[in-house]
Amino acid sequence: MSGKRRSAHPPYTYPDYKSSILRGPGRDPIDLDRLDAKHPSSMGVESGVLLAGRFRPGELDHDLTRNARRGGEPLGERLVVSGRVLDECGNPAPGVLVEIWQANAAGRYLHKADEHDAPVDPNFLGAGRCVTDREGCYRFCTIQPGAYPWKNHHNAWRPRHIHFSVIGDSLVSRLVTQMYFPGDPLLDFDPIFESVPDAARSRLIARFDLGLTQPEFALGYHFDIVVAGSGATPRDNHGSGK
């Protein structure tokens, strides 16, 4: 990866994000292509297994407002989040698995490790997936996630955000990132967002889109994901947690 490409991404360890010191690798990354050529092992074969066409999302997997109902509507402001997955040349990436996960409207994840003193929504799982179409487009219907405290520093709060995972032809091509919302006052105080180089931060902020907005139902936000190149969407190098 060239320096120009790497400049879009945050460092693996960032002192202001305390847990990244423990999560970040202490050694240089391994070049899997060179490793496969030198030692054609089962690991190399597995890393290159083609995944295209293997994804079979369910009918409601893309709709987080309906995929976990237990007797009522999930609480919160409904959103449509849509965009395209593109390669470094701006070409669409069809057949790509896009997964999202997020907190509920109160800022609580449906996870046993989340101890935030906020209510769990029994009708909201906070996770969904879909596969991009021929034009590289994806679309989710979900709920506006809430901000939440995370104890990284005094009075630390995470901005509203949605986690994205994008998987192409093989598992080694996975990109994990986070999408933020325009105008969020917490962005300036968030070390995860601040760890991204200045020039690339805007690529993590969705754009309000009246064309995606559904009348009397849900606001629309547009968020494109570029998987490589100088205009790549910055990765989440600090793990896929909060």
Cα 23-26-30 angle, rounded to 5 deg: 105
The DSSP H or E segment spanning 148 is strand 148-149
Torsion of CA 210, 211, 217, 218, to 10 degrees: -60
Secondary structure letter of residue 200 according to DSSP: G
Tokens of 117: 């003193």
Catalytically active residues are 109, 148, 158, 161, 163
Going by their DSSP bridges, the two strands 175-180 and 161-167 should be labelled as antiparallel
By residue count, the chain amounts to 242
CA distances from 105 to 39, 102, 109, 175 (A): 49, 9, 10, 25
